[in-house]
Chains A and B, each alone.
Chain A
Amino acid sequence: MPQPVRLSVQTLEVLSALTTEPSSWRHGYDLARETGLKSGTLYPILIRLADRKLVEARWEDEQPAGRPRRHLYRLTSDGVAVASEALATAAAKRRTAAAAPAPRLARGNS
């Protein structure tokens, strides 16, 4: 059972992108386009997720014509579980924040 981890907003975005099709392999630029993250942010997140065995990575099997082989990523079964839980928690927090009354401002002016 993976240990509970505190996930940043950017990590949640990556997990969310990977969760859309958990069984399919995604490449880095594809994830960067979907999440809007720069490579300097995206790859450290992928490294940490891979270190925690939440993401598995591999190179493309065959050498495509005209470009180098890509590094591919997808969630592990633990990753799917952690991502589902974390995304559900984040969504619940957002709902709670949206339902809460707006803070009263400028009390003296009312």
Chain B
Amino acid sequence: MDRLALWLTWLLDGAARLLPSGRRLWVEAVRAEAGQVPAGRQRLSWIAGGLWLAVREANVARKIGYWLGIGAIAVIGGWIAWLGFLGTAATDAEAVTDRFRIVVLLTALVGLPWLARRHGLFGPVGPSVIARFVRVAGCAGLCGLGLIVLRIDAHAKGNIMGNGRFNPVEEFCGLAARIRQGTYAGITAGVIGGLLCTFIFLFFVFLIVLGPLIGVLGGRVGAALAADHLPSRRTDRSISADLFISD
């Protein structure tokens, strides 16, 4: 049971690293008290409470939902852009537009959340001016990009609803028709993308939490192996020393 408590304590150390500094100290407080709690079931319960605190304060469920959502949006957006790309010949001048659109769309979808994640994109924003600027500029940029895509769609040759004039209703209808084309494939791709992002997130959690534990265990195994081998080496040395003396 003591070994289990030790492992849970290591796990608690790793879990503390998942939290921002303002919350980390509370988990460290639980960790600091663990040694004072009587060993056995009481100590296990105490440490388990600390782990629960870390999971609760890290908002793990919210983060999984967030990454599922981001992944689904990225893959659906990419899929829709890909459908637009498929409809155009590679030698057509429109293909350049489509490639540019894909690059810009994917960069915006992946890059903006990455840039702004420290300040909470789509959530509470930090108190700094930069944080507010990034959030507003990101949203405005995406809206502007959407309008540009719609404008290009309206003027592209052979498009579903394009007739060369800017008509917001027709352009939104055209976009809706294009989305309908890829609805089923998009949903499938969104689910797969979301799951992928979640797995990646959980992989990083695994690395952060279990990394120190694996390192310590690796060190212990190495130490145990060394301990097994050292006495025999000493014996060999002592034997050779004896032989040398006898000679």
Pairing of A with B: yes
B-binding residues in A (CB < 8 A): 27-29, 32, 38-44, 46-47, 57, 59, 67-71
Q: 5 new A-B pairs (CB below 8 Å) besides A38-B45, A57-B29, A71-B28?
A: A28-B30, A38-B46, A43-B30, A68-B35, A70-B32
9 shortest interchain CB distances as A-B pairs: A39-B49, A40-B49, A71-B29, A40-B52, A68-B32, A29-B33, A38-B49, A39-B46, A28-B33
**Once the chains bind, are B50 and A40 in contact (CB under 8 Å)?**
yes
**A42 — which chain B residues lie within 8 A by C-beta?**
49
Which residues of A have CB within 8 Å of B53? 39-40, 43-44
Contacts of A28 in B (CB 8 A): 29-30, 33
> How big is chain B's contact interface, by range?
20 to 34
Chain B residues with CB under 8 A of A46: 26
Q: Find chain B residues with CB under 8 A from A27 CB.
A: 33
Q: In the assembled complex, which residues on chain A have CB atoms less than 8 Å from the CB atom of B49? A: 38-43
- Known contacts: A44-B56, A47-B26. The answer to whether A39 contacts B32 by CB under 8 A is no
Q: How far is the CA of A41 from the CA of B46 in the complex (A)?
A: 10
- Chain A residues within 8 Å of B26, by CB: 43, 46-47, 71
> Which residue of chain B lies nearest to A73 when distances are taken between CB atoms in the complex?
B29
Subset of 16 A-B contacts with CB under 8 Å:
A28-B33, A29-B46, A39-B30, A39-B45, A39-B49, A41-B49, A43-B26, A43-B29, A43-B50, A44-B53, A44-B56, A47-B57, A68-B31, A68-B35, A70-B29, A71-B26
